[in-house]
Structure 1
Amino acid sequence: MPSTSTVRPATDPTIWLARGRHSGPSAEEVVRRALRRHQTEGALDDFREPAEDGAEDTRVFEARLRADGSVTVRARLTLSGTGHWELAAEAERPWDPRWPSPAALFWPSDPDSEWDHEPLTGGRLRGINPLPDDDKALRRLLKDAARDGWTIHVVVHEAMTTDGRGRTPLAGMLPPGLRHRVVEHRAAPHQLRYVNWALRDTGAEVPRGGAVVLPGPVAPADYDAAGFTVRSVFLDGSEPAELIAAVTRYAALPRPLPDGAEAVVTALRERWGLLTLEEELARERALVAMYSDALEAMTKSRDLYREAAEQAHEALAAYRESGDAPPPERPRPESPLQQLTRGFGRLRESALARRPGTTVGAPRDEEPAERHSDVG
């Protein structure tokens, strides 16, 4: 069974995550062309390609767009030299699956483009992925699908051999924001028993002629296999409304961040450089305020230490004049600066009290009058 969702921090509802692999040549040029075209068409506000420190074979692309006409979305794609890519986007409010997929801005919509391979299973994000005929290969693939936390994996069983109408991918029927986050696996009629045997550790089971949404490596807290199982999926070209609803519900569940996603989200939030003029002004003001606070704290600290040093010099001078040795060291105080200042004050008062003529006590008797000897 998958582990519980308490193992990792939950994904923020404003975050959209996806990853894949581009199997063709010149992946970075493909991204650049797609971004330029989408900017020309008005699908995004702006984009840039910042340098990534310490990674010569890695390219980073940032794009800013507006979902639903007014919601600002920041998206950051990291592309390695091997064609693997990771994409994180964050909106100003919780993500709506009806918004456009950020992946569609970085990659072309051409079905022949090779950017949508899921890295673990090799399945296409935008197509149908028949399960392999070999039993060992089938088990290995479903095991990989079950441990993938980035992508939603759906297993559909064909109760009978389908015709052309039944070969319509699920991805094209999903809400736009889910189309590049789902891998659809198809099991042939004779594979049902092998599929369910391979899935026995996940707690999920595929009904004959139905489908199931896999829980992933760390099941969401509200995941119930029965609630994400569809008894019948009609593969006749019609919209599988029940299956679409199950996938949409699963995508809305609070889920833990997948492996490696925390670093991707942190990079989006902390290394973002595609700022508007207003954002740049706000950032500069924040920096000025931060430096001002730091300077004020340093000035206060300097004055306190200067005052403590002056009191220390006065105390030492007083002890030299009194001829007494300094008292033994006291245990380290909890607040060094305040206790040091207070201690030096006490030393100074003690030294002054020991100076000749400064001791306060009972009045001394007057000298007796000079005795006169009797003359006898």
Structure 2
Amino acid sequence: MPTSPAARPTHPPTVWLARGRYTGPDLLDVIRRTLQRRKDAGTIDDFLEPSEAGDAPKPAFQARWRVTDGVTVRAGLTVLPGTDTEADTGSEWVLAAEAERPWDQQWPSPATVFWPDAPDVEWDHDIPTGLRLRYVNRLPEDDKAMRRMFRDAVRGSWNIHVVVHEAMTPDERGRRALATLLPQGLRHRVIEHRATPQQLRAVNWALKEVGVQVPRGGAVVLPAAPGRSDGDKDEFAVRSVFLDGSEPSDLVDALTRFAASSRPLPDGGEDAVTALRERWRLLTLEEELVRQRELVAMYAEALDAMTKSRDLYREAAERAHEALTAYRETAAALPEPPQPPATPAASPLQQLSRTLERFKGTARTKDTP
């Protein structure tokens, strides 16, 4: 059962999360080759392959790199186990990255550390909607299908969904995906839904359930939960988006504010963050030294506790033995308790008298009329 948004922890400001589906062949080889190219080019410091990642239940690549001012970023990409029904639809993956300070959307996208940023490698399918990042996704003509798509987008997607309305049919430059104009940190987290000029009324009808509306010729960022607008209803709405190939600065601002907002983690997001923090194995020499020192201190503390526990047990046993010995010695030194007087045995004369008394009583009973 999905966790209610109110009960979920909020998205940490230092974390970058993504989840998608890869539909091509040789998934692990594609990731491995991409990481090796990034390391050879100096883009990342190092990476770890699944075979080296201990006893993790799923293949989990790890990578470490530095961004502005030497801030270290640690990231892990986990390939989720597939089922027979997913044989033709690809493999799901989860990517969690965390920096040493709040995430800056101008930093390189963690997705392109693990995946090649080429259009022919289809790693960027959104799971609940099936739509792709880096592309213009035209809204369906059917109103009910449109409403269902928006519902799926806010209920199960880890990506940020934005609806853009064309005030008029754009030229070739305006038909380009807006993702190419976004900062790198947003480029691979935003799903663009594009509505034609005549779809405005149908789009806003479908968005009623979501809780937002798109302005004519503008855009709106969908909330992180159905029926919930994050803050003010129009806080993440943009009045105008010029589809002429220029940078959509107002839309970039809205998306940046939304990405930095205190919104709930998606289902499974908390597990991804926890796994990144607790199963991290790609350590520097300094980090490995600190880790070994911590292990030595932990073992020394455990050994000390065991030694103290053993000494306490031995001391208690010795005291119990001393108490038992003292009891036995005290019991041996006490005098024997006096015996109760024995009942003297009846003499033969007394026994004869008692027998005669019984005979007398029997005779009186017979003489009575």
Class of the TM-score when normalised by the shorter of the 2 chains? 0.7 to 0.9
The residue aligned with 1:371 is none
| C-alpha RMSD over aligned residues | 2.2
Deviation at 1:253, TM superposition (A): 0.7
Question: For residue 10 of structure 1, what is the aligned residue in structure 2?
Answer: 10
Deviations 1:212-246 (A, max 9, x none): 11111279996222111112212122221111110
Alpha carbons 2:10, 2:262 under 8 Å: kept: yes
Deviation of 1:270 (Å): 1.6
8 Å CA contact retained: 1:221, 1:254: no
Matched, 1:127 2:143: no
Identify the residue that residue 71 of structure 2 maps to in structure 1. 71
Q: Give 5+ residue unaligned stretches, structure 1.
A: 325-354, 358-376
Q: What residue identity is the alignment partner of 1:98?
A: Q
SS state at 1:216 partner: coil
Distance, in Å, in 2 between the alignment partners of 1:249 and 1:94 is 13
After superposition, what is the alpha-carbon deviation per residue over 1:317-376, rounded to whole angstroms, capped at 9, x for unaligned?
A: 22233339xxxxxxxxxxxxxxxxxxxxxxxxxxxxxx769xxxxxxxxxxxxxxxxxxx
Map Cα deviations across residues 289-343 of structure 1 (whole Å, 9 max, x no partner): 000000001111111111111111222222233339xxxxxxxxxxxxxxxxxxx
CA distance in 1, matches of 2:12, 2:250: 26
Read off the aligned partner of 1:250 and give its amino acid letter: F
Take 1:19 and 1:87, find their aligned partners in 2: how far apart are those partners? 6
One-letter code aligned to 1:61:
F
Contact 1:165 1:237 survives alignment (8 Å): yes
Unaligned regions of 5+ residues in structure 2, if any?
83-89, 336-369
Find the aligned partners of 1:228 and 1:91 in 2 and give their Cα distance. 25
Matching residue of 1:234: 242
Select 1:298's aligned residue among 293, 306, 328.
306
> Partner of 1:164: helix, strand, or coil?
coil
Larger mean CA deviation between 265-274 and 243-252 belongs to 265-274
Aligned position for 1:109: 117
Counterpart of 1:27 in structure 2 is 27
Matches within 5 A, 1:320-359: 320-323=328-331
Aligned mates of 1:246, 1:38 — CA distance in 2: 31
* 1: CA distance, partners of 2:121 / 2:180: 16
- Code of the residue aligned with 1:279 in structure 2: it is E
Q: Residue 224 of structure 2 contacts residue 263 of structure 2 at CA under 8 Å; is this kept in 1?
A: no
Other-structure match for 1:188: 196
Q: Give the Cα–Cα distance (whole angstroms) in 1 for the partners of residues 329 and 226 of structure 2.
A: 75
Is the contact between residue 131 and residue 187 of structure 1 (CA under 8 Å) also seen in structure 2?
yes
1:49 match: 49
Q: In the alignment, which residue of structure 1 is the partner of 2:99? A: 91
Partner residue of 2:348?
Answer: none
User: Contact (CA 8 Å) 2:210, 2:228: kept in 1 or not?
Assistant: no
TM-score, with normalisation over the residues of structure 2?
0.82
